[in-house]
C-alpha cells in the first residue's frame, strides 16, 4: 500500500538523513520512478522534505526534522522484535516490515533489535513429540542470544549422565511446540533440546558467532540431516480419504500424498526402519493397506501374529443349557 511506503520512506530518511530515489527504491522493492513519485508526494503534502541536486545529492528532511513515527525506547524496540521475529520465519511480510523498521531505529537500538528479530525460528512441522508447554529456560536462553553472552549449560542426553559446558548462544527454534537451542561449541555448531537442559546460567562473557551465520539456514541444515536419518525407509500405502488429514498430521513431513484412488489416498510414509513404519500403522488395523515394501508387510504380519497369540479371540458361546 502507498501509505505504508510513505511511512517507511519517512523512517528511512529520519534514520539516514539523506537518501536517493534509487536507494529508496531498493529498500522498498519498488521502481525508481515510484520512489521518486512518493518523495514528491510527501513534499506536496507539506512534509518538510526537499531534493538536493548534483553529486552527493538526494532527498533530506529540512533542518534535520524528525517525524517520530516509531517513538520506541530501547526496551520497547527489543520487545517488539522478540514478539514479531519468530513470525518473520513463516511470514515474508513480517520479515520485510521488520527489516524496514530496524533501519529506521536509532543506531543505539539497532544491534539488539536485529539480534532479537533473528533469535527465534518457528518450524511448524512436528517430529512426533507431544510436549507443547514452553520450557521456562527459553526466556533465559533468548536473553543470552539477544545480549550475546556465553551460557553455562547443564545438559542430559537421553540415557546419559548430566554434563556441563559453556556455549555461544546462536538462536532458538520452536518446532511445533518442541524447543531447540542452537549454539556454538569448541566442536562446532550443536543443537540442544531445551527440555533436556537442566540448568542455564549467563556467564557475563561476550559470545562469538560466525559473521555469516543465519539461524534459518542453520536450522534447515539440521532438519535436512535429521530427516535423512529418519527417512531411510519408504513405504507406499492406501489410507481412507476421510482419515488422510489425520494421518498427515500424525506424521508431518514424513507423509507425502501421491494420488487419490477413489475412496482411498495413496501415500508414502518414511521412517528410519521398516519396523518403525509397521509400528506406526499397525494400530490402524485393516483400515490401511501397505502395498510395499515386503519388509514392512512382514513386520506387520509378525506383529499381528504376536497380538493374536497374546490375545486370542474368545470362543463363541455355545447354546444355553435347558
Tell me the C-alpha distance between 200 and 186, whole Å: 18
pLDDT of residue 225: 84
* Angle (nearest 5°) at CA 143 between 137 and 144: 90
DSSP letter (8 states) at residue 201: E
* Angle (nearest 5°) at CA 248 between 191 and 138: 30
Helix residue ranges, H only, the chain: 2-16, 21-28, 32-44, 74-88, 92-104, 107-117, 137-147, 215-230, 244-251, 274-282, 294-310
Tell me the C-alpha distance between 112 and 77, whole Å: 8
Q: Could you state, in chain order, the average pLDDT of each consecutive group of 10 residues for the chain (322 residues)?
A: 62 77 86 85 69 74 53 52 50 56 57 60 56 76 88 90 93 84 93 93 93 88 81 92 93 90 94 92 94 96 93 71 54
CB 11 within 8 A of CB 100: yes
pLDDT of residue 90: 44
pLDDT of residue 194: 92
Q: Give 303: exposed, middle or buried? Use CB within 10 Å, 0-12, 13-18, 19+.
A: middle
CB 34 within 8 A of CB 1: no
pLDDT of residue 316: 66
Tell me the C-alpha distance between 170 and 145, whole Å: 6
pLDDT of residue 16: 75
Q: What is the dihedral of CA 45, 46, 52, 57, to 10 degrees?
A: -60
DSSP letter (8 states) at residue 56: T
pLDDT of residue 113: 58
Compute the radius of gyration of the chain from its Cα atoms: 28
Cα 8 → chain centroid: 26
pLDDT of residue 252: 83
Nearest to 252 by CA among 158, 86, 130: 130
Going by DSSP bridges, is the β-strand pair 264-271/49-52 parallel, antiparallel, or unpaired?
Answer: unpaired
Phi, psi of 254 (to 5 degrees): -80, -10
pLDDT of residue 267: 96
* Residue-range domains of the chain with CATH: 2-64 (1.10.10.10), 74-118 (no CATH), 123-228 (2.30.30.520), 231-310 (3.30.70)
Q: Which residues pair with 201 in a beta bridge?
A: 152
What string of H, E and C letters represents the secondary structure of 31-49?
Answer: CHHHHHHHHHHHHHCCCCE
CB 24 within 8 A of CB 38: yes
293: helix, coil or strand? coil
CB 155 within 8 A of CB 206: no
Q: Which residues pair with 122 in a beta bridge?
A: 174
pLDDT of residue 149: 93
Tell me the C-alpha distance between 296 and 245, whole Å: 22
pLDDT of residue 1: 44
Amino acid at each position: 500500500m502507498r501509505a505504508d511506503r510513505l511511512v517507511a520512506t519517512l523512517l528511512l530518511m529520519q534514520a539516514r538523513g539523506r537518501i536517493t530515489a534509487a536507494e529508496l527504491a531498493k529498500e522498498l522493492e519498488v521502481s525508481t520512478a515510484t520512489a521518486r513519485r512518493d518523495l514528491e508526494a510527501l513534499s506536496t503534502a507539506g512534509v518538510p522534505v526537499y531534493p538536493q541536486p548534483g553529486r552527493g545529492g538526494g532527498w533530506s528532511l529540512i533542518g534535520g526534522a524528525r517525524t517520530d513515527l516509531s517513538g520506541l525506547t530501547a526496551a520497547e524496540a527489543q520487545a517488539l522484535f522478540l514478539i514479531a521475529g519468530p513470525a518473520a520465519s513463516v511470514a515474508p511480510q513480517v520479515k520485510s516490515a521488520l527489516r524496514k523498521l530496524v533501519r529506521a531505529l536509532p543506531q543505539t537500538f539497532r544491534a539488539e533489535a536485529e539480534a532479537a528479530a533473528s533469535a527465534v525460528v518457528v518450524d511448524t512441522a512436528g517430529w512426533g513429540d507431544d510436549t507443547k508447554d514452553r520450557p521456562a529456560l527459553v526466556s533465559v536462553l533468548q536473553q543470552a542470544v539477544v545480549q550475546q553472552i556465553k551460557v553455562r549449560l547443564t545438559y542430559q542426553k537421553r540415557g546419559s549422565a548430566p554434563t556441563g559446558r559453556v556455549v555461544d548462544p546462536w538462536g532458538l527454534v520452536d518446532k511445533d511446540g518442541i524447543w531447540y537451542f542452537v549454539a556454538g561449541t569448541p566442536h562446532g555448531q550443536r543443537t540442544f533440546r531445551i527440555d533436556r537442559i537442566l540448568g542455564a546460567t549467563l556467564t557475563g562473557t561476550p559470545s562469538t558467532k560466525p559473521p555469516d551465520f543465519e539461524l534459518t539456514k542453520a536450522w534447515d541444515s539440521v532438519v535436512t540431516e535429521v530427516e535423512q536419518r529418519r527417512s531411510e525407509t519408504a513405504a507406499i500405502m492406501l489410507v481412507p480419504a476421510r482419515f488422510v488429514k489425520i494421518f498427515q498430521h500424525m506424521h508431518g513431513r514424513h507423509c507425502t500424498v501421491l494420488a487419490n484412488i477413489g475412496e482411498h489416498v495413496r501415500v508414502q510414509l518414511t521412517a528410519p526402519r521398516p519396523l518403525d513404519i509397521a509400528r506406526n500403522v499397525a494400530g490402524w488395523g485393516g483400515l490401511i493397506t501397505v502395498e510395499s515394501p515386503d519388509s514392512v508387510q512382514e513386520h506387520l504380519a509378525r506383529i499381528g501374529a504376536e497380538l493374536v497369540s497374546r490375545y486370542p479371540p474368545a470362543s463363541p458361546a455355545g447354546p444355553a443349557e435347558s
